[in-house]
């Protein structure tokens, strides 16, 4: 497999204290890359930082809190003049019945899996160039997005449905944003790292051991470093197939993708009271 021979990359991984994220951080650091690890639990973050090694730097933030995400992006931008790869890996499937919504009244799955990675990505794009990459960890579970649920106007009772909608929304803004920024920067890929891998999420929700987590870590390593993806952007990589795949039809519809982007922008501006990055330029609202 052809792999870039350039200087070590600076790579930010969200949700790096467990499962796929933690193993990916170890794999990248072992090859000499500088890994910025994110977690929301201080003790686990410190443990991961010690395990991965001296090339790492740890960042604490709760991705269910959009102000935390905004602060995380600001700190990273202050401390680093470039970012080669952003892996939006953090995700949530099940929630407690007492806390299925975030503080802004939107389902936690949409906030953590869709909105937070959009905010982090758009704020960090100025640190990237045309050789940089954004890798968004999605899922084979994809379901048409209820825009009212995305805005918090209606509730989704089923955990799996909320998760599948949030993961399709992630693919949709990946594809839409890729077209908006064109060849400026960076390359953007969404990926299903593998179905039913043995992560804590899968074990807790499905009560199975699952397949080796290394399957997911290895594909994230490949997407981060291999030359074979040069020139591809706004694509979906399905690791169950071992190659590019076809996501839910809505992710191939430019109008639907733009509706997701516009909705997320309105949520950030109106519900979270956050100023938006210059990326992407807001289009006509649907």
Token pair 């929304």 is found at 169
CA dist., res. 279 & res. 153, Å (int): 27
Per-residue pLDDT of 82-104, as tens digits, reads: 999 999 999 999 875 445 778 88
The answer to whether 163 touches 109, Cβ cutoff 8 Å, is yes
More confident residue, 231 or 183: 231
The string over 258-284, giving b where at least 16 C-beta atoms fall within 10 Å of a residue's C-beta and e elsewhere, is: bbbbbbbbebbeebbebebbebbeeee
Average pLDDT, the chain: 91
Categorize the per-residue pLDDT at 283 as very low, low, confident or very high, splitting at 50, 70 and 90: very low
Assess whether pLDDT exceeds 90 at residue 184.
no
| pLDDT tens, position by position, 185-210 | 799 999 999 998 878 888 888 888 88
Phi and psi (nearest 5°) for 23?
A: -70, -35
Tell me what pLDDT residue 277 has. 63
Please determine, for residue 122, whether its predicted confidence score (pLDDT) is greater than 70.
yes
Q: Provide the token pair at 56.
A: 């790492």
CB 170 within 8 A of CB 236: no
Between helix 19-30 and helix 214-225 the angle, nearest 10°, is 50
Question: Cβ neighbours of residue 253 under 8 Å, at least 6 residues apart?
Answer: none
May I ask the CATH class of domain 10-271? Answer: alpha beta
Q: Are 283 and 258 in contact (CB under 8 A)?
A: yes
Per-domain boundaries in the chain = 10-271
The pLDDT assigned to 57 comes to: 95
| Helices (runs of H) and strands (runs of E) counted in the chain | 10, 8
> Which tens digit of pLDDT belongs to each residue from 12-44?
999 999 999 999 999 999 999 999 999 999 999
Express as a percent the part of the chain with pLDDT over 70. Answer: 92
Q: Output the six-digit token pair for 77.
A: 């931008």
């Amino acid at each position: 497999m052809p792999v870039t021979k350039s200087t070590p990359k600076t790579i930010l991984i969200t949700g790096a204290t467990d499962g796929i994220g933690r193993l990916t951080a170890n794999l990248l650091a072992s090859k000499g890359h500088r890994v910025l690890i994110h977690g929301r639990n201080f003790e686990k973050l410190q443990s991961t930082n010690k395990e991965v090694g001296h090339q790492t730097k740890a960042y604490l933030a709760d991705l269910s809190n959009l102000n935390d995400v905004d602060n995380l992006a600001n700190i990273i931008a202050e401390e680093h003049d470039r970012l080669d790869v952003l892996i939006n890996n953090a995700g949530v499937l099940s929630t407690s019945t007492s806390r299925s919504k975030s503080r802004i009244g939107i389902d936690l799955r949409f906030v953590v899996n869709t909105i937070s990675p959009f905010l982090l990505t758009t704020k960090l794009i100025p640190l990237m160039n045309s050789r940089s990459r954004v890798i968004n960890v999605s899922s084979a579970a994809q379901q048409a997005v209820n825009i009212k649920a995305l805005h918090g106007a209606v509730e989704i009772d089923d955990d799996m449905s909320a998760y599948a909608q949030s993961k399709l929304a992630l693919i949709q803004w990946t594809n839409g944003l890729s077209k908006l920024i064109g060849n400026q920067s960076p390359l953007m890929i969404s990926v299903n790292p593998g179905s039913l891998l043995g992560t804590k999420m899968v074990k807790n929700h499905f009560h199975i051991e699952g397949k080796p987590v290394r399957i997911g870590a290895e594909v994230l390593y490949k997407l981060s470093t291999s030359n074979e993806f040069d020139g591809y952007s706004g694509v979906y990589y399905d690791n169950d197939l071992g190659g590019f795949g076809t996501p839910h039809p809505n992710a191939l519809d430019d109008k639907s993708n733009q509706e997701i982007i516009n909705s997320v922008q309105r949520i950030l501006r109106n519900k979270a009271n956050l100023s938006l990055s210059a990326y992407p330029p807001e289009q006509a609202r649907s």
